[in-house]
Amino acid sequence: MKNLIIASTSTLHGSGYLEYLLDELSLFFEDVETIVFIPYARPSGISHEDYTAKVKDAFKKINKNVKGIHEFDNPAEAIENAEAIFTGGGNTFVLLYQLYKNQLIEPLKKAIRKGTPYLGTSAGSNICGLTINTTNDMPIVYPPSFKALGFVPFNINPHYLDPIKNNTHMGETRETRINEFHAFYSQPVIGLREGSWLRVKGKSIVLKGTLSARIFEYKKVAFEIEVNTELNHLK
Binding site for its own copies (CB under 8 A): 9, 11-14, 42-45, 90-91, 93-94, 132-142, 145-146, 159, 161, 168-172, 176-185, 194
CB of 102 to its own copies, least distance (A): 17
| Calculated CA dihedral for residues 120, 126, 128, 133, nearest 10 degrees | -170
Residue 204 catalytic? no
CB of 93 to its own copies, least distance (A): 8
Q: Tell me which of 8, 10, 125, 137 is the catalytic residue.
A: 137
Other C-beta atoms closer than 10 Å to the C-beta of 180 total 10
122 included as an active-site residue:
yes
Q: Indicate the residue among 116 and 135 with the shorter CB distance to its own copies.
A: 135
Considering the candidates 122, 125, 182, 196, report the single residue annotated as catalytic.
Answer: 122
Q: Compute the least distance from the CB of residue 191 to its own copies, in Å.
A: 12
Half-sphere exposure of 151 (CA within 13 A, CB side): 34
> With contact defined as beta carbons under 8 Å apart, do 121 and 159 qualify?
no
Residue placing its CB nearer to its own copies in the complex, 86 or 181:
181
Catalytic status, residue 159: yes
Residues in contact with 216: Cβ distance below 8 Å, sequence separation at least 6, in sequence order: 175, 178, 179, 182, 188, 189, 190, 191, 222
CB 98, min distance to its own copies, A: 11
Separation of alpha carbons 152 and 118, rounded Å: 13
- By annotation, the residues acting in catalysis are 122, 137, 159
